[in-house]
Amino acid sequence: MDVEELRQRLEFEPQSLPLSANLLAKCQINFDKVDLALTWQESQPHHYILTPSDPLYPPLLQQIPDAPFVLFLKGNVESLVLPSIAIVGSRNASRGGLDMAADLAYNLAKQGFAITSGMASGIDGAAHKATLAASGTTLAVLGTGVERVYPKRHQHLYHDIVNSGCVISEYWPDIGPYAGNFPKRNRIVSGLSLGTVVVEASRKSGSLISARLAMEQNREVFAVPGSVLGGYSQGCHDLIKNGAKLVETAADIIEELGCLSEYHLEQLHQRHHIQDNDICDLPFSSLLASVGYETTSIDAVVEDSGKPIDLVLIQMLELELQGWVAAVPGGYVRLKRS
């Protein structure tokens, strides 16, 4: 991190506002705070301060209109390389909603996706915990600074996320919980992700902010239907009526993400290129062997691999994201040798 660049971008008053808003306010720079930020970054090996000029700054996030000028990150910075899916929902979720969020997160994590959420109670927490149970990577975007745990009951979860993924914030590391900061961080949750999944949300749920932002960012939006009684899923039903993809299983999400534009795929290739060899030298070798250097139909891949089509679609997307194959009219072609 270049000190002069950091001095240009960091610490404007008041502290409770995101840095992008502070820049717009053109408040006075507090250079003492800049020095404190640099001290924080150097105090531990897994502390990072990222600006858009850094190669590890997430390219998908960089494309949103109000991308944060600075990200504080604590944990494994390479977590940002993985393609991410956001899972959000009610803080006061039902048992069924929690189980559904956990099931989706677990199965998506098993297929190599990072799961992004906000570490709130309810659906957020269930998604993070299930990802950890799957030995996957999860990213928590906080409405506080990265050194403040909120809610406090998530102390253990916070440390588990730092150990297996990372916590991220645009706020100073020691900033506490301010009500207005939590809706603002939702743009980062959706901006980091290929798509946002809403599980159990009423019409007044804050999760609908994430869904709206995802739509504005031209990202995919998914919603899980629920009972029409009680109003717990009215927000999800409204999203489905307005064009969100109805989700029952992880395969529903994968199927839709397989139709991503070439632009998003290009951005993901850039992310994987950072540590491509370390992430996976030869993923799904038996499936990869089914794809030739001339067009191979999906039916041929399914038949040759002996795998169910839902699993084939999931794994072919991962191979495409890592640059092993390319989707072409009529099927797939292999791009490189093992």
Asked whether residue 147 carries a pLDDT value surpassing 90, the answer given is yes
Q: Are 213 and 183 in contact (CB under 8 A)?
A: no
| Mean pLDDT of the 295-305 span | 84
pLDDT, tens digit, 9 for 90 and up, residues 40-66: 988 888 899 998 888 889 888 998 999
Q: What is the mean pLDDT of the chain?
A: 83
Please give the model's pTM, rounded to 2 decimal places.
Answer: 0.72
174 vs 263: which has the higher pLDDT: 174
Rounded to 5 degrees, φ, ψ at 102 are -65, -40
> What is the fold of 280-334?
Arc Repressor Mutant, subunit A (1.10.10)
Q: What is the pLDDT of residue 70?
A: 92
CATH of the domain spanning 1-279, picked from 1.20.1280.260, 3.30.300.30, 3.40.50.450, 3.10.450.750 = 3.40.50.450
| Mean pLDDT of the 15-28 span | 45
Q: What is the pLDDT of residue 271?
A: 47
Asked whether the domain spanning 280-334 has the same topology as the one spanning 1-279, the reply is no
Q: Are 11 and 34 in contact (CB under 8 A)?
A: yes
Domain ranges of the chain: 1-279, 280-334
Least confident of 72-86, 102-116, 296-310: 296-310
Q: Are 166 and 59 in contact (CB under 8 A)?
A: no
Token pair belonging to 248: 């029952």
Q: What is the pLDDT of residue 14?
A: 40
Least confident of 133-142, 212-221, 307-316: 307-316
